[in-house]
Chains A and B, each alone.
Chain A
Amino acid sequence: MGQKRGLGFYVLATFFGLFVLFLYGPMSAIFILSFQGPSGGLTFPLNGVSVHWFFNLFEKQAVGDFGASFGRSLLLGLMVMAATVVVALLAGLAFRRKFLGATPLFYLTIASLVVPSIIVSLGIGVLFQQLGIKPAWYGSGFGAHLTWTLPFGVLIMFAVFNRFSPSYEEAARDLGASPWQTFWHVLLPMIAPSLIGVGLFGFSLSYDEFARSLLAMGTYNTLPLEIYAMTTNVTTPVLYALGTVTTLFSFLIIGGTFGIIALISRKRTA
């Protein structure tokens, strides 16, 4: 690489800047519009500035109950997060060795990613109907979300273990550590930041999921399903207020997670 920045750099830097604007620009539009005055509508200009629509969010709604659906989404996200971390870690460990059925299981995991979401939703809906089990967010919904989060988790674990040198474990073994001690005191602490990353993916993907949830949630909707229903029949900025709140919540989760990962890494290097 030469020291002087060429023309190519400036062209691409501008392109990158425009891309970031493209990613975040529209999001900031609804962020601003959620502070619309009480008489304001869905588009600019702002008719005064207020937090009217945020209060409106917590009042009893004609459509939907945000508090309860938020609670369900949060709890479901945490359940999916925990299950994704555990199942993906175990599968990642399994794939380090050759075992019978490894290839079909790998392709099934890839299939979980590429099968259109609505097919998963329809399939689970029909399956539960035929089994005579009522779909519920903590049952069929939980499973539906796992089919979306697990492939990401397993692929991340693949990437982690591909770069993980077995010499650390060999060293521990040579020093007399049992397999369990090697796992608990050597392997686990070393891959902890990646596991936290897997957890973040598990939670976020579940918290925002709706395509696989359509037929799988049963009577009680999760938050994304509420929002999806709102897009067709709500015509006030309360939609934007909800968007702002839930996006800020996502940012908080992402920021918090990266904070924790950075803290762990710093402690380790110190």
Chain B
Amino acid sequence: MERPVAVAEHAVSVAEPEAKKRRKPFSLSRAASYLQALPLWLVLGFFLLLPILLLLVVSFWDYDFSGLYPDFLTLNYEDVLGSWVTWKTYLNTLKFAAIVWAITLFVGFWIAYFLAFHVRKATTQTVLFLICTVPFLTSNIIRMISWIPVLGRNGLVNSTLIQLGIIPQPIEWLLYSDFAVVLAMVHLYTLFMVTPIFNTLMRIDRSLIEAARDAGASAFQVLWTVILPLAKPGMAIGTIFVVTLVMADFSTVQVMSGGQSASVALMMKNQMSLLQYPAAAANAVVLLAIVLLMVGGILRIVDIRKEL
């Protein structure tokens, strides 16, 4: 960011005394920034900021089956914070986030590491990276339900294991279980870890690694003291993606657990289908606070604007 701005300012200061004719476009370009930023402000203001502020207000409202009534009740929050079921749901969601985060970080780092340091030809690198990226641009639900014929009672895994004589009867916990939820989430979200880590690894100056090696560092020491610290920003961005996606997930939990597990977003979705908007809004505020705290904590470690 810094360089283009500095150069642009320099260009302005040089150009100004030079010719009067040029002045007009440049003063116009000051206003241009605001005009160019306006559409983004408008869209995000109306469809993100305003709805969230409204939810904050509505979370204090009263409601029944026929409508919402403006009020100032703390009842919705008492329902959220005072019920053991809700606490368990929040803890369950955090549990999914922690497990999926740990797995995606491990898998994501090694995939990115392989692509960045072991694949030598740039074309091969691009092709392999695209192979990893393409599923991200296809439907999440389809990718999720594609596990059903693989993990099901008569699915591929079970029937193969039985045919090989490894197990006498199908394993029941492969599908419709917490295991299935975690597996599907790892399947859906690992990409969000691979991409930012790959991006940071590609920017590591290779001479640093050579220098470390010349100074007598072993392969492990290079990895641990040079590459890993430099990869932290990418890991942080990946973490933001994965954690927020898991915290917001309702469909994977619903479909893959077969209704046996719960998440905060799934609880909200059920409240929404019962038109209990203020109750869902109170949950939304609590969930949003948790997610923003997590993201804020991660952002203290890394400046994302530098990493783009």
Q: At the interface, yes or no: B277 with Cβ under 8 Å from chain A? A: yes
Q: Are the C-beta atoms of A178 and B25 separated by less than 8 Å?
A: yes
Enumerate chain B residues within 8 angstroms of A173, measured Cβ to Cβ. Answer: 11, 15
Known: A23-B132, A200-B137. A91 touches B268 (CB 8 A): no
Enumerate chain A residues within 8 angstroms of B152, measured Cβ to Cβ. Answer: 42-43
Nearest-Cβ distance from residue B84 to partner chain A, whole angstroms: 23
Q: Cα distance A254–B115 when bound, in Å?
A: 21
Q: Which of A97, A159, A205, A215 contacts B8 (CB 8 A)?
A: A97
Interface size band for B: 35 or more
Q: At the interface, yes or no: A208 with Cβ under 8 Å from chain B? A: yes
Q: Are the C-beta atoms of B142 and A108 separated by less than 8 Å?
A: no
Q: Which of B4, B141, B308 contacts A210 (CB 8 A)?
A: B141
Binds B, one of A58-66, A122-130, A188-196: A122-130
Enumerate chain A residues within 8 angstroms of B255, measured Cβ to Cβ. Answer: 231-232
Q: Are the C-beta atoms of A16 and B111 separated by less than 8 Å?
A: yes
Q: Are the C-beta atoms of A224 and B139 separated by less than 8 Å?
A: yes
Enumerate chain B residues within 8 angstroms of A20, measured Cβ to Cβ. Answer: 131-132
- Contact mask B155-191 → A, CB, 8 Å, 1/0? 1100100000000000000000000000000010010
Known: A26-B147, A150-B43. A115 touches B48 (CB 8 A): yes
B277 and chain A: residue at smallest CB distance: A126
Main secondary structure of the interface of A (DSSP, over half): helix
Q: Are the C-beta atoms of A122 and B268 separated by less than 8 Å?
A: yes
Could you tell me which residues of chain A, from 50 to 97, have a CB within 8 Å of some CB in chain B? 83, 86-88, 90-91, 93-97
Could you tell me which residues of chain B, from 89 to 146, have a CB within 8 Å of some CB in chain A? 107, 110-111, 113-115, 117-118, 120, 128, 130-132, 134-135, 137-143, 145-146
- Contact mask A96-124 → B, CB, 8 Å, 1/0? 11111110011011111111111111111
Enumerate chain A residues within 8 angstroms of B132, measured Cβ to Cβ. Answer: 19-20, 23
Q: Are the C-beta atoms of B11 and A170 separated by less than 8 Å?
A: yes
Q: Are the C-beta atoms of A227 and B5 separated by less than 8 Å?
A: no
Q: Are the C-beta atoms of A112 and B288 separated by less than 8 Å?
A: no
B binding-site residues for A, Cβ under 8 Å? 1, 4-5, 7-8, 11, 15, 25, 28-29, 32-37, 39-41, 43-52, 54-55, 58, 68, 107, 110-111, 113-115, 117-118, 120, 128, 130-132, 134-135, 137-143, 145-150, 152-156, 159, 187, 190, 219, 240-241, 244, 247-248, 250-251, 255, 265, 268-269, 272, 277, 280-281, 284, 287-288, 291-292, 295, 304-305, 308
Known contacts A97-B33, A119-B288, A228-B141; can you find 12 more A-B pairs with CB under 8 A?
A: A9-B118, A12-B118, A16-B128, A26-B149, A30-B149, A43-B148, A115-B288, A118-B272, A120-B51, A143-B47, A147-B43, A208-B137
A binding-site residues for B, Cβ under 8 Å? 1, 6, 8-9, 12-13, 15-16, 19-20, 22-27, 29-30, 33, 42-44, 83, 86-88, 90-91, 93-102, 105-106, 108-127, 129-130, 140, 143-144, 146-147, 150, 154-155, 158-159, 161-162, 164, 166, 170, 173, 178-179, 200-201, 204-205, 207-208, 210-211, 214-215, 224, 227-228, 231-232, 239-240, 243, 246-247, 250-251, 253-254, 258
